[in-house]
């Protein structure tokens, strides 16, 4: 079995998770991998299409080349994140060539994001993406549901979003989706948010999000596959740990380390200092937030 599939499956079995650290700027690669190694953990190194289209990742090929310079298969592997069918600007994306580039450049798992399509369209595209990934012996992640916070116009207060389960992944749709597509992992919407959403008082603020743990558990039982959490910044730690115990076997980490890098670079202009902040932040996430220090062997197997 592919190492990425094994890692996520072992995480599910052992009530752990595999963090996927997104690399929007190539210099962030070395400190992230060094931090994972120093915590004796295991993580995915990931890049999403938006990060080479709108940030500084340049291309999937550049990130793969940078990864190979620091690669340590005992601690990290490469994941192609968020290849959208319809992107954040509501434009259609020719996604198949991107998938094939990912395979060509050595990515060890792939993610298709058809969540902006209707259910039937998402199933159709995801089934095709799974065929391409599986033909190369790689696992394929898909997405169903809508993590709120990036939509135009005023948003309801977070408590209303949570109470009404707005955008949450539907249990029965998820069961059907996984059965008909054969996807290996499913990214779900269960309470996390993007950006600023109004708090109970009505003011725009970054509220502390939480997860509907019962919904997470029902999704895992209905689908039988490892679940993935996106939009994880700012979620209550106890909720994240509860979600991990109920089937969230992969968590994407992007803004937490990107902000550390970009903020220091903007304030001081010192790239080395920015990279060291990324290193410290990554270690803190692994040790304090995810409690993954020393879990590498449980994730990749006793022989790892």
3-state class (DSSP) for residue 71: coil
Q: Which two tokens stand for residue 65?
A: 């080349």
C-alpha 233/C-alpha 240 separation (Å) is: 10
Dihedral Cα 140, 144, 149, 150, nearest 10 deg: 60
Q: Which two tokens stand for residue 121?
A: 């369209």
C-alpha 28/C-alpha 163 separation (Å) is: 38
C-alpha 167/C-alpha 81 separation (Å) is: 21
Q: Which residues pair with 241 in a beta bridge?
A: none
Task: Decide if 81 is catalytic.
Answer: yes
Please, which residues have CB within 8 angstroms of residue 12's CB and are 6 or more apart in sequence? 226, 247, 249
Check 71, 81, 89, 94 and give the catalytic one: 81
Q: Which residues are catalytic?
A: 81
């Amino acid at each position: 079995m592919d190492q990425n599939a094994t890692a996520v499956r072992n995480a599910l079995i052992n009530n752990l998770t595999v963090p996927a650290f997104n690399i929007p700027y190539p210099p962030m690669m070395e400190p992230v991998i060094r931090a994972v190694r120093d915590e004796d953990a295991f993580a995915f190194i990931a890049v999403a299409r938006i990060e080479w289209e709108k940030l500084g990742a340049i291309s999937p090929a550049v990130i793969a080349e940078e990864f190979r310079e620091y690669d340590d298969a005992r601690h990290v592997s490469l994941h192609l994140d968020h290849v959208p069918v319809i992107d954040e600007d509501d434009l259609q994306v020719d996604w198949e060539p991107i998938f094939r580039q990912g395979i060509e450049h050595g990515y060890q798992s792939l993610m298709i994001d058809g969540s902006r399509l209707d259910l039937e369209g998402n199933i159709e595209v995801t089934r095709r993406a799974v065929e391409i990934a599986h033909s190369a012996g790689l696992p394929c992640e898909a997405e169903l549901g809508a993590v709120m916070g990036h939509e135009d116009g005023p948003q309801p207060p977070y408590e209303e979003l949570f109470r009404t389960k707005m955008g949450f992944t539907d249990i029965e749709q998820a069961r059907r989706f996984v059965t008909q597509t054969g996807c290996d992992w499913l990214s779900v919407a269960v309470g996390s948010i993007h950006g600023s959403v109004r708090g109970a008082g009505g003011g725009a603020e970054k509220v502390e999000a939480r997860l509907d743990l019962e919904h997470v558990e029902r999704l895992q039982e209905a689908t039988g596959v490892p679940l993935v959490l996106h939009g994880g910044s700012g979620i209550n730690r106890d909720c994240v740990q509860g979600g991990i115990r109920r089937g969230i076997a992969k968590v994407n980490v992007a803004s937490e380390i990107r902000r550390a890098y970009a903020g220091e670079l903007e304030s001081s202009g010192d790239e080395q200092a920015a990279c060291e902040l990324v290193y410290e932040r990554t270690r803190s996430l692994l040790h304090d937030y995810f409690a993954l220090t020393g879990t590498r062997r449980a994730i990749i197997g006793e022989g790892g």
